[in-house]
């Protein structure tokens, strides 16, 4: 913190008086680090909310305006309200943004010294400012202050997983024509009949779909609806490749779900519905055609910027998360950020139990249910973490068959997420959740659960990113509590399929040792992690070069580059 004993003493006094919390040495040290270009890795339960608030106060009292980026609107409102007594004690104003807040009322929020909100809200407001400035020829009415100090909570999610996700503003009013609708629907039907290898191939590095000569010849010879007569063959083949891409890469209840006759995207790293997101370049409409839903209107993109572009514009950037060490090289290379580990104030008592391996996914899920049933007899609480909605619901059905009372938390059943997760540590409580499982919400265990051995976490399937598995494991054994975690593996796990290990493991079946399975899982995660990093580097370099080219032409890389979605 600031080198000011009076400042630190006042902060401790206010925290005790208004929050009933005495800041720990680990928290004050981490808060001091956040005033530099540093990502602090703090374990679950170590008090990131208070740590971030202390850093924000230290910066705001020197005249800086601070934006605290949270994982969602709920956490923004919760943290701003919870820490407000501290802010008021220093004469600082704090408020939070939400996606439903109209533009004009946002002015009072941005007028505060400390602003809580998601990175997406900050990005969209920045893009709207650029549009307003171009329209009016002045930046006088801009919402976002020119100089913001940015502290990112769950920094690995924002700066790595979401870094190149485009923030897009579309112009409304481009209605879908009957001819375009027919093209989408015809392409979806044809894609379902195409075979990989024979009709199309998938480029290993970029995952791009390319029709083979045989596939093209098949389409050229096919009968097409008269409504498609206006399209060139080039447009038809592009539409078909897009439909194949959707059929091969986007799975219902894994990448999206259907709600109220609409396609809702699912964040692959959190399991939450990404309600404000739509796929661009006609992919969203291709999914709608695949699912036989009404085809929504396409729009012309009027403004576009990646999260990485946004945060790199900030004069100050720092962050906190439970898992950053694996990505320390990328964080240093791309953002100039160091990663510092904050060790827990009480040694961790988490025990990682031996990984269990099963012949297939169904047997694995039965094994998970059986272990859960056995642990309940001893008074434990169990949190089962899954990757997809489908997997969470399969486990739920098996638990119903065994008469195990449980709660399911996924993108289809996500009301009161924080409340459900907060109760996951109560005696004989079973929570089955997708990867949204509680980032930002502490799981406090009851005394009888503590005496029985603490919360038990099940990693039902290895994630493509090892860091996500570590996040899930971190839900147990907080602040010196006991707790256990166990990983489950099967040959048909998605990780092995993507890493081309599935056929080997299925072929040799039970002849493959448990250690061989574990080693191949680790190696597969490392390989996929390396490929994802290389992909991010290539995209970032391409975006950067494109931005330079536009600026050389005195054009805006955010407003002049975009074209129609499809």
Max avg pLDDT among 207-211, 228-232, 502-506:
228-232
Query: Average pLDDT over the chain, rounded to whole?
Result: 88
247 has a pLDDT exceeding 80: yes
How confident is the model at residue 71, as a pLDDT?
86
Asked whether 229 and 242 are in contact (CB, 8 A), the reply is no
Give alpha helix (H) positions in 61-118.
73-89, 106-110
DSSP state of 561: S
How confident is the model at residue 404, as a pLDDT?
97
Name the token pair of 230: 């206006």
The kind and range of the H/E element at 451 are helix 447-452
Over residues 146-162, mean pLDDT = 93
Over residues 240-260, mean pLDDT = 91
Please return the burial class of 563, using the count of CB atoms within 10 Å of its CB with bins 0-12, 13-18 and 19+.
Answer: exposed
How confident is the model at residue 504, as a pLDDT?
63
507 has a pLDDT exceeding 80: no
How confident is the model at residue 278, as a pLDDT?
81
Crossing angle of helices 514-552/328-335, nearest 10°? Answer: 0
> How do residues 420-447 score in pLDDT, each as one tens digit?
888 899 999 999 998 765 566 778 999 9
Out of 380-394, 460-474, 515-529, least confident range:
515-529
How confident is the model at residue 454, as a pLDDT?
97
> How do residues 279-334 score in pLDDT, each as one tens digit?
877 899 999 999 999 998 876 778 889 999 999 999 999 999 999 999 999 999 99
The confidence band for 84, taking pLDDT boundaries of 50, 70 and 90, is very high
DSSP 3-state of 409: strand
pTM of the model: 0.86
**Which residue has tokens 């597969």?**
524
> How do residues 172-181 score in pLDDT, each as one tens digit?
655 678 889 9
The confidence band for 5, taking pLDDT boundaries of 50, 70 and 90, is confident
CA dist., res. 52 & res. 342, Å (int):
13
How confident is the model at residue 4, as a pLDDT?
62
CA dist., res. 98 & res. 528, Å (int):
34
CA dist., res. 127 & res. 309, Å (int):
12
CA dist., res. 319 & res. 335, Å (int):
11
How confident is the model at residue 566, as a pLDDT?
45
In terms of DSSP bridges, do strands 338-342 and 316-321 run parallel, antiparallel, or are they unpaired? Answer: unpaired
Out of 41-45, 61-65, 80-84, least confident range:
41-45
How confident is the model at residue 170, as a pLDDT?
76
DSSP state of 161: I
2 has a pLDDT exceeding 60: no
* CB burial readout 331-347, b (16+ within 10 A) else e: beebbebebbebebeee
Among 279, 197, 186, which residue's Cα sits nearest to residue 240?
A: 186
The confidence band for 502, taking pLDDT boundaries of 50, 70 and 90, is low
29 has a pLDDT exceeding 60: yes
Which is more confident, 509 or 117? Answer: 117
* CB burial readout 248-286, b (16+ within 10 A) else e: eebebbbbbbeeeeebbbbbbbbbbbbeebbbbbbbbbb
Total number of residues shown for the chain: 566
CA dist., res. 566 & res. 244, Å (int):
16
Over residues 145-151, mean pLDDT = 93
Cα 459 to the center of its chain, rounded Å: 18
CA dist., res. 557 & res. 552, Å (int):
10
Cα 366 to the center of its chain, rounded Å: 29
How confident is the model at residue 564, as a pLDDT?
47
Over residues 33-47, mean pLDDT = 93
The confidence band for 39, taking pLDDT boundaries of 50, 70 and 90, is very high
183 has a pLDDT exceeding 60: yes
Which is more confident, 500 or 318? Answer: 318
The kind and range of the H/E element at 519 are helix 514-552
98 has a pLDDT exceeding 90: yes
DSSP 3-state of 305: strand
Among 201, 223, 197, 219, which residue's Cα sits nearest to residue 210?
A: 201
381 has a pLDDT exceeding 70: yes
Asked whether 323 and 156 are in contact (CB, 8 A), the reply is yes
């Amino acid at each position: 913190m600031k080198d000011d004993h009076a400042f630190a003493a006042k902060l401790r006094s206010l925290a005790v008086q208004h929050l009933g919390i005495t800041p720990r040495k680990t928290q004050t040290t981490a808060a001091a680090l956040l005033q530099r270009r540093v990502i602090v890795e703090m374990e679950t339960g170590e008090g990131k909310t208070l740590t971030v608030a202390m850093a924000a106060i230290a910066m705001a009292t020197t005249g800086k305006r601070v934006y605290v980026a949270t994982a969602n609107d709920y956490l923004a409102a919760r943290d701003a309200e919870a820490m407000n007594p501290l802010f008021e004690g220093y004469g600082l104003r704090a408020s939070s943004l939400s996606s439903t807040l109209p533009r004009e009322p946002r002015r009072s929020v941005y007028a505060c010294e400390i602003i809580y909100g998601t990175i997406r809200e900050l990005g969209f407001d920045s893009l709207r400012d650029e549009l307003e400035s171009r329209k009016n020829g002045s930046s006088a009415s801009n919402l976002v202050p020119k100089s913001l100090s940015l502290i990112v909570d769950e920094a690995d999610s924002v700066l790595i997983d979401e870094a190149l996700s485009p923030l897009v503003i579309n112009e409304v009013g481009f209605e879908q024509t009957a001819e375009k609708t027919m093209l989408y629907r015809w392409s979806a039907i044809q894609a379902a009949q195409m075979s990989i290898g024979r009709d199309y191939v998938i480029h290993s590095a970029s995952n791009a779909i390319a029709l083979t000569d045989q596939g093209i010849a098949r389409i050229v010879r096919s009968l097409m609806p008269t409504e498609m007569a206006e399209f060139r063959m080039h447009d038809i083949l592009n539409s078909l490749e897009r439909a194949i891409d959707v059929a091969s890469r986007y799975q219902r209840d894994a990448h999206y779900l259907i709600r109220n006759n609409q396609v809702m995207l699912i964040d692959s790293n959190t399991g939450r519905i990404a309600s404000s997101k739509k796929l661009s370049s006609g992919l969203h409409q291709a999914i709608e055609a695949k699912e036989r839903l009404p085809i929504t209107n396409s729009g012309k993109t009027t403004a576009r910027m990646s999260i990485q572009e946004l945060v790199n514009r900030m004069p100050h950037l720092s962050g906190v998360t439970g898992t950053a060490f694996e990505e320390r090289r990328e964080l240093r290379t791309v953002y100039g950020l160091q990663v510092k580990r904050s060790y827990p104030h009480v040694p961790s008592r988490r025990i990682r139990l031996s990984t269990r391996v099963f012949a297939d996914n169904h047997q694995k899920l039965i094994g998970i249910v059986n272990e859960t049933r056995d642990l309940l007899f001893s008074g434990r609480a169990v949190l089962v973490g899954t990757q997809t909605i489908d997997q969470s619901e399969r486990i739920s059905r098996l638990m119903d068959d065994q008469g195990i009372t449980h709660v399911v938390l996924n993108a289809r059943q996500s009301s009161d997420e924080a409340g459900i997760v907060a109760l996951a540590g109560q005696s004989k409580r079973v929570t089955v959740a997708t990867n949204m499982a509680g980032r930002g919400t502490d799981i406090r265990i009851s005394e009888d659960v503590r005496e029985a051995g603490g919360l038990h976490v099940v990693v039902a399937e290895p994630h493509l990113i090892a860091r996500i598995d570590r996040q899930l494991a971190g839900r147990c054994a907080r602040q010196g509590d006991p707790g256990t975690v166990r990983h489950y593996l099967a040959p048909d796990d998605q990780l092995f399929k993507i890493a081309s290990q599935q056929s080997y493991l299925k072929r040799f079946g039970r002849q493959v040792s448990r250690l061989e399975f574990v080693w191949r899982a680790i190696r597969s995660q490392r390989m996929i992690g390396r490929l994802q990093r290389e992909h991010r580097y290539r995209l970032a370099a391409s975006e950067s070069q494109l931005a330079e080219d536009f600026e050389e032409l005195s054009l805006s890389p955010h407003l002049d580059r975009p074209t129609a979605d499809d």
